[in-house]
Amino acid sequence: MTITSILIMCFLPYVLAGLAKFGGKGGFNNHVPRVALAKLTGWRQRANFAQANQFEALPLFIAGVVFATLHNAPVGLLNIILALIVIIRIVYSFLYITDKASLRSLVWLSGIILSISLFFI
């Protein structure tokens, strides 16, 4: 589950970026992508914000996985926590895109707590 969770977490921001760029009518101006992303509104804008947050959460997650692995964390417990983090980050992205701000914040907090827990198992 370790490699799989890292791959999913690394790939997820690109899925969200694709939704932001190509998920609506009118196409996307890839000649000036940052300008085009700055002009997005609605769910596509929130997909872009979710993408940025996924990248922001990635270093803590990967550092926690490496730390837990190097310190021989119990594999069963590690796999459960990793699966929960991946599920939480996917749910977080869905809540971000669908504009469920309060619930999204709670889900975000649970993901951060679980990522930090990787340093203590």
* Distance in angstroms (rounded) separating the CA atoms of residues 97 and 49: 9
- What does the pLDDT read at residue 53? 97
Contact 2, 62 (CB under 8 A): no
Which position has the higher pLDDT, 10 or 34?
10
Which CATH number applies to 2-117? 1.20.120
Domain regions of the chain by residue span: 2-117
Instruction: Please give the model's pTM, rounded to 2 decimal places.
Output: 0.91
Res 81: pLDDT: 98
Which pair of tokens denotes residue 31? 């000649």
Spatial separation of the C-alpha atoms in residues 100 and 102, rounded to whole Å: 6
